[in-house]
Amino acid sequence: MDTRQLAAFCAVVERRSFSHAAEQLGVTQPAVSLQVRALEKRLATQLLDRSGRRVEPTEAGLRLYRGAQRLLALERQVLDEVASRGAGDLVGSLSLGGSTGPAAVVVPQLLCEFQRAHPAVRVALEVHDTRMVVELVAERRLELGIVGAAPRHRAVRFEPFAYDEVVLVCPPAHHFAGRTIDVHELASEPLVVMQEGAGVRRIVEDELRRLGVRLRDLDPRLELGLQESVRSAVLAGYGVTFISRAAVESDLAAGALAEARVEGMDGRREISLVRSTARVQTRAADAFVEFARARIATLGSLGLVPPEPGPR
């Protein structure tokens, strides 16, 4: 079977559009249409429903898509294996997504060290909120993800990677600094929150719910996107926020920010590795995971600790 036809078909299914698929593949839209028509002709069945505003796979198309994902992943793995110049030499590319907590400091450092150890590997990191990273891994547009929450998704699997802590931070002169406060005291202060879909926000909402409080009960007036935005707002004195310890460890050490604790709130969270259930991992991806797990134990100063030993 022509894998170029399968790649074109999978891109159309994932992007729900011939033009967007062509853009992703770096070819013209007529070329994508031709590949898909040739595939439908060969299989003697309609694979795509083109009648609506968006292109949708038929029942037969969905069955083919699931098998094609596995075949294309295997093809990439075989090509990477063949391209390797020696038993210990890695080549190829690694595309990884990180949510804003892990991707703030730790993941870039791990990737830089890994690439230095394997200079023939091209590394690319995309930073999104947790929900988007999971979607991109599920769609096979990213090979791996490292996120601060594990929302349910049948197309991916989550593995323990490390542990982080969500902490409440404030300016050093703030009256919360160094204290353990009651959760209801948060309602009297400007609370800066991240956007929906951020892993930190999900952890905070879950913990508040456990304490009998909803986030909206605290009346947050500033929703500023992702981690770097809320950090900047608090550094400038505009309020308090919950944030990954890994993202503010240096600020806390330097005295630019101070930590407070909320009575009864457990901010410890698992950092998870995200893999697609339909994708065969490349040598580069497997090597990075092994490398990163070994290095996490030495990065405690950056706010992460390794997971408990056990089966993965």
187 and 136 in one domain?
no
HSE-CB of 282 using CA atoms within 13 angstroms? 28
Residues in the chain: 312
**263/289 same-domain check:** no
The set of residues, in sequence order, having a beta carbon less than 8 Å from that of 33 and lying 6+ positions away, is 18
Residues 99 and 236 in one domain: no
CA dist., res. 204 & res. 210, Å (int): 10
d(CA 94, CA 124): 6
Average pLDDT over the chain, rounded to whole?
86
Tell me if 307 is assigned to some domain.
no
pLDDT tens readout for residues 102-146? 776 778 889 999 999 999 899 999 988 888 999 999 988 899 999
Maximum alpha-carbon separation in the chain: 72
Q: Range with the lowest mean pLDDT among 102-111, 290-299, 301-310?
A: 301-310
Residues 52 and 171 in one domain: no
Please count the structural domains in the chain.
Answer: 3
Tokens in use for 96? 């990884």
Looking at the whole model, is its pTM more than 0.85?
Answer: no
Q: Do 158 and 277 have their domain in common? A: yes
pLDDT confidence of residue 301 = 39
Task: Examine the domain organization and report whether 200 and 242 are in the same domain.
Answer: yes
Confidence of residue 183 (pLDDT cuts 50, 70, 90): very high
* Residue 241 belongs to domain with CATH number: 3.40.190.10
Can you give the pLDDT at residue 175? 94
The helices-and-strands tally (H runs, E runs) of the chain is: 10, 12
Residue at 310 is within a domain: no
| 174 and 252 in a common domain | yes
Quick: pLDDT tens for 1-58: 788 899 999 999 988 999 999 998 999 999 999 999 999 999 999 999 988 888 999 9
Provide the sign of the torsion angle of the four alpha carbons 101, 105, 110, 116, taken in this order: positive
Question: Which residues span the domain enclosing 173?
Answer: 164-268
* Pairing mode, strands 156-170 and 48-49: unpaired
Identify the pLDDT of residue 311: 47
Q: Is residue 308 part of a domain?
A: no
Closest CA to 108 of 123, 122, 118, 93: 123
- Assess if residue 66 is contained within a domain: yes
Q: Where is the domain boundary, 63, 83, 103?
A: 83
Could you tell me what percent of the chain has a pLDDT over 70? 90
Distance between CA atoms of residues 180 and 184, nearest Å: 12
